[in-house]
Amino acid sequence: MSIPSDDVTPQRAATRLESKTLFVELGAQPVGSPEHQATREALVHLHLPLVEFLARRFRDRGEPLDDLVQVGTIGLIKAVDRFDVDRGVEFSTYATPTIVGEIKRHFRDKGWAVRVPRRLQELRHELATTTELLSHSLGRAPTIAEIASALDLSEEQVLEGLESANAYSTVSLDAGSDGEDGGGGSALASIGADDEALEGVEYRESLRPLLALLPARDRQILMLRFFRNMTQSQIAVEVGISQMHVSRLLTKTLEQLREQLTEEY
Amino acid sequence: MIRPARPAATTGGVINDVVELRLPADSAYLAVLRTATAGLAARLDFTLDEIEDLRIAVDEACALLLADSEPGEPMVCAFTLGHDSIEVVISARTGSGRPPGAGSFAWTVLSALAGEVKATAGADHLVTITLLKQRGGT
């Protein structure tokens, strides 16, 4: 597994140093001035390889790579404009969710969501409602057979519905939780409470800043599932969303952490 | 749902049906594996929580192997269906030949989701991750 340790290649160290210097300069220059503009462009140019790297991860989904790099670059520019050097995280770590968010938004805007057949959309809705009702009356999560019987469907149909819910969410993320605005500075402070739970996990030094960048709810769900060992259903009640939604958010958050921890950039 | 082999579930005996999939070590095929995982766990009457946990665990284990696997190599995934448990054994030839460390975050995730996790390294850089999920356990 290629979780990065702290041994950084000379090239990467040079990029980091240059990036840091440029951000310090950027902060000192008046917004809108020609020199501010030039520094901003230099930063975007410097980090373009990150956009290309992330865009390539989506190249098999039917959109030209050039288009993905283009929308990813919009994310990069946003990240450059919002980044605060004093935050204490590497710019690449900070920018990754924003760039990925922009690429995913592109897929969403291309109407992927619209192509989910209406029948499946309705099925997903019924599944969520029924799962919640059954969880409540059974005192545990229902089985596929129980859901099928309650909805008068075959087990295959139920599985198909669950599948579509998961497939759909890999592209179309729920508004407000795609990490785009999730990097609040105060998040680093609130992570302190989770430190105890992270004791004993290797790489927690590289994990901690990534957790801090997650939207608060996603981080909470992650901690409850993996460090407090609560079930998805219990978390659903605790957080006030459906179990299916918990499952989707967990999948998405793990995927995001994986992308960042194995980042070769 | 096809359920030819369930007499053991009623007699309390042990089913040991094995379902094996051989796929290219490429993330494009993960969806197939996820579907198979959910379908097989549903056969054993796992709850939705348990099915989703196992599905995410298989995803995570494969992602670990894929991150380090040689392009073009096959990934083999064997599901053994017990009476109230499912064992998933995933192997692939990797670049490093090193199994994931037991202290890593990924390991924490796998243990929380599956229950029991093992990782072994074999000859020829073959790395195997074994997940054992019990029904009714957490």
Lowest pLDDT segment from A37-51, A134-148, A190-204, B42-56: A190-204
Mutate to test the interface with A, among B44, B49, B58 (most CBs of A within 10 A): B49
Residue A176: exposure state from Cβ atoms within 10 A (0-12, 13-18, ≥19): exposed
pLDDT in tens, A67-121: 889 889 999 998 999 898 887 788 888 898 889 888 887 877 665 544 556 677 7
Q: Of the candidates A265, A264, A259, A166, which has an alpha carbon nearest to the alpha carbon of residue A213?
A: A259
- Token code pair at residue A154: 């075959």
- CA pair distance A64, A49, nearest whole angstrom: 17
Lowest pLDDT segment from A31-35, B2-6, B16-20, B102-106: B2-6
ipTM of the complex: 0.70
Cβ contact, residue pair B108, A207, below 8 Å: no
The tokens 């990490």 sit on which residue?
A179
Confidence bin at A192 (pLDDT 50/70/90): very low
Confidence bin at A46 (pLDDT 50/70/90): very high
**Hey, which of A132-141, A161-170, B69-78, B83-92 has the most confident mean pLDDT?**
B83-92
Q: Is the pTM of this model over 0.80?
A: no
**Helix segments in chain A, DSSP class H:** 10-28, 34-46, 48-56, 65-82, 91-109, 118-138, 144-151, 155-171, 187-190, 195-198, 204-213, 216-226, 232-239, 243-261
A1 vs B contacts (CB less than 8 Å) = 64, 67-68, 98, 100-101, 104, 106
Q: Of the candidates A259, A188, A165, A177, which has an alpha carbon nearest to the alpha carbon of residue A218?
A: A177
Q: What is the pLDDT of residue B63?
A: 87
pLDDT in tens, A130-183: 998 998 899 889 999 999 999 999 998 898 888 776 655 433 332 233 333 333
Amino acid at B10: T
Residue A102: exposure state from Cβ atoms within 10 A (0-12, 13-18, ≥19): buried
Nearest to A141 among B39, B48, B108 (CB): B48
